[in-house]
Structure 1
């Protein structure tokens, strides 16, 4: 099977809760009925909004939602993209290769909100890195720093194989990291350093160094989302 990831921008003017209702009530069931496996919806709803919550995009407005699923053959995706086009004003799709360094327990029931907040970041590689160098650094020190310097509950790496839609930005990777809800506004929680200013400074410095060694910092899209999964078996391998 092949994993597809779609970045979506809301057609209704930015009401995250209304978008969540449409995606969970209409899009996700339609994708599952059509044959998509392990449908996952991440949406910037009210649970992850508010003043002081980080969101940034070098491309303009950060994506409002991220929808991912698996198909037997990615070339047979026209029906799914038709559904996505109805849900979003703009969307960009990617074929990705997934790896999961940290697997979080699934929700109690399919479609329930997963614990924490999922920060989904689209990244471009530094121009001076070959693809092999990018992958080696990403799966090496960058991964270690991300896990050891943050209070990370789940970590999913999506290496972009190729874009699936016209004019999609040439992101090299789409990274999903889940943190406690308190990490939305509390750096000590985010950097796993509650009550320890020295650890906070050290973790920030190490992570920023790792980021600078890997990512083109002029091209980043990052935001927090609520995650809703429709396959709760964390041991599942789509096939």
Structure 2
């Protein structure tokens, strides 16, 4: 089983587009019989987040994560072709998934609690892959969990791009936060007071700087919808 993340970029990802992706496009992707499917959209509930950072033009306004037996097979090819009708630019990436903090389950198609802040990371040229992974996975992970209010945390290391002209991305990180964290730094970092906030922010900045995640990064606040969970019997999930 392989995980593929597809980024969707367009100048105008309004709520009508988000709704079409969640409802009609999701049904088309499920019909491909992929073992797992999640859709994230930058909709009106999250669009004004303080945590938005953008380097790409047009920006990423949605993500489709799917699980498949073959990243180079017909399911991914068909999914990308379908999504090209919905975005100005579509890029697919094969990733390896690590889950330091599992997200609580939701009913198929329901919006997950809080919001998902999705970060696109690039490895600095002066760090080889081994050192970068060491600093990200082993050094940074416990700091991120200790200093933020995340209740879901998934790290996707990019193996390779699957589509031509895909922007260079080395990792895609999904972190689930309470809705209050959209506009409140204390809520984002889970800080009790201003002194605690400064301490948590200082620790987080130092940790991200160690592997280059404090620069050349996109962060996209999204609403997360899980339609099908991999490694679980489809009939048991109540979806077709």
> What's the TM-score, normalizing by structure 2?
0.91
User: Are the structure 2 counterparts of residues 172 and 54 from structure 1 closer, same or farther at C-alpha, using a change threshold of 3 Å?
Assistant: same
Q: Tell me, in whole angstroms, the C-alpha distance in 2 between the residues paired with 1:209 and 1:10.
A: 33
Contact 2:13 2:43 in 1 (8 A): no
2:191 equivalent in structure 1: 193
| 2:95 counterpart residue number | 96
Q: Residues 193 and 236 from structure 1, CA distance in 2 versus in 1: closer, same or farther, beyond 3 angstroms?
A: farther
After the TM superposition, which segments of 4 or more aligned residues of structure 1 sit over 3 Å from their partners? 235-238
Structure 2 equivalent of residue 171 of structure 1: 169
CA RMSD of the aligned region, Å? 1.9
- Alignment check: 8 A CA contact 2:152 2:176 kept: yes
* Counterpart position of 1:211: 208
1:62 aligns with 2:70: no
Asked if the contact 1:118–1:226 (Cα under 8 Å) also holds between the matched residues in 2, the reply is yes
Runs of at least 5 residues in structure 2 that lack an aligned partner in the other structure: 235-240
In 1, the alpha carbon distance for the partners of 2:28 and 2:189 equals: 38
Q: Which residue of 2 aligns with 1:4?
A: 4
Q: Secondary structure at the match of 1:147?
A: helix
Rate the CA distance shift 1:133–1:40 in 2: closer, same or farther, 3 A: same
Judged with a 3 Å threshold, the aligned counterparts in structure 2 of structure 1 residues 135 and 182 are, in CA distance, closer, same or farther, namely same
User: Do 1:5 and 1:69's aligned partners in 2 also have CA atoms closer than 8 Å?
Assistant: yes
- With over 3 angstroms needed to count, the CA separation of the structure-2 counterparts of 1:61 and 1:215, relative to structure 1, is farther
**Equivalenced residues, count:** 232
Cα distance in structure 2, aligned partners of 1:237 and 1:159: 26
Q: 1:42 and 1:127 mapped to 2: Cα distance?
A: 30
Indicate conservation of the 8 Å contact 2:154/2:175, yes or no: yes
Q: Is the 8 A contact 2:180 2:187 kept in 1?
A: yes
Decide whether the 8 Å contact of 1:58 with 1:218 is kept in 2: no
2:18 corresponding residue in structure 1: 20
Q: 1: distance between equivalents of 2:232 and 2:50?
A: 32
Name the CA distance, whole Å, in 2 between partners of 1:218 and 1:168: 20
